[in-house]
Amino acid sequence: GAGVSQSPRYKVAKRGQDVALRCDPISGHVSLFWYQQALGQGPEFLTYFQNEAQLDKSGLPSDRFFAERPEGSVSTLKIQRTQQEDSAVYLCASSLARGDKGRTEAFFGQGTRLTVV
Amino acid sequence: GQNIDQPTEMTATEGAIVQINCTYQTSGFNGLFWYQQHAGEAPTFLSYNVLDGLEEKGRFSSFLSRSKGYSYLLLKELQMKDSASYLCAVRNNDYKLSFGAGTTVTVRA
């Protein structure tokens, strides 16, 4: 596709429900990132994939959060037993090369706005 | 830890110039990025600095001083469509971007 695509755009979940957020990165992009953005704040790093390998998951807030990218393209962020503090916009970003290479800009999707009620 | 500071809000008049400052204290430095984010939209890349100095790109310029831990984004000839949040982000020695909270710029006619 032309850009990073995320679905759904909006998700309302009841507290305790499991949710799965999907990210379709730009075709051929090696690096994939998930960020969490609270209202009025900048994005906070959650996890990083290089192809199918999850190289860093240090930003995941708890073991209720799980991310995968099994074939090195599409990625899913899963949140189990959602809680109200999980309400935020979840942004996915991809970049062509390894994340530490020079002017390797990350292209962001529009995000999924998760509201836990 | 990472500490990235930028003003919360700025207001300017159409056609004017606005400078958004960003100061940072991070463990390692491998480039500084500026992103623009309209409400409800994806952040979009504006500029990248890794060496000291000014990078100019049309109406937007970005400056970096690594010794001072300081950058600014300069927006010239402001247009109404420039009303958005501007995010300063620092990449550490690896791949991780640490973002500031963003500066909301409002352009008035």
Q: Give the bridge partners for A95, in sequence order.
A: A31
pLDDT, one tens digit per residue, over A17-57 is 999 999 999 999 999 999 999 998 999 999 999 999 999 99
**CA-to-CA distance for A40 and B104, rounded, in angstroms?**
9
Contact: A4, B42; criterion CB under 8 Å: yes
A77 — pLDDT class (breaks 50, 70, 90): very high
The three state secondary structure string of chain A is: CCCCEEECCEEEECCCCCEEEEEECCCCCCEEEEEEECCCCCCEEEEEEECCEEEECCCCCCCCEEEECCCCCCEEEEECCCCHHHCEEEEEEEECCCCCCCCCCCEECCCEEEEEC
Give the gap in angstroms from C-alpha A87 to the nearest C-alpha of chain B. Answer: 15
A31 contacts in chain B (CB < 8 Å): 95
Tokens standing for residue A21: 């957020």
Q: CA-CA distances (angstroms) from residue B88 to A31, A92, B85?
A: 20, 18, 10
Q: Which residue has the higher pLDDT, A17 or A97?
A: A17
pLDDT higher than threshold 90 for residue B28 = no
Give the gap in angstroms from C-alpha A14 to the nearest C-alpha of chain B. Answer: 22
- Smallest Cβ distance to B95: which of A31, A40, A105? A31
Tokens standing for residue A77: 């962020």
**CA-to-CA distance for A63 and A77, rounded, in angstroms?**
12
Q: Which of A1, A8, A3, A2 is nearest to A76 (CA)?
A: A8
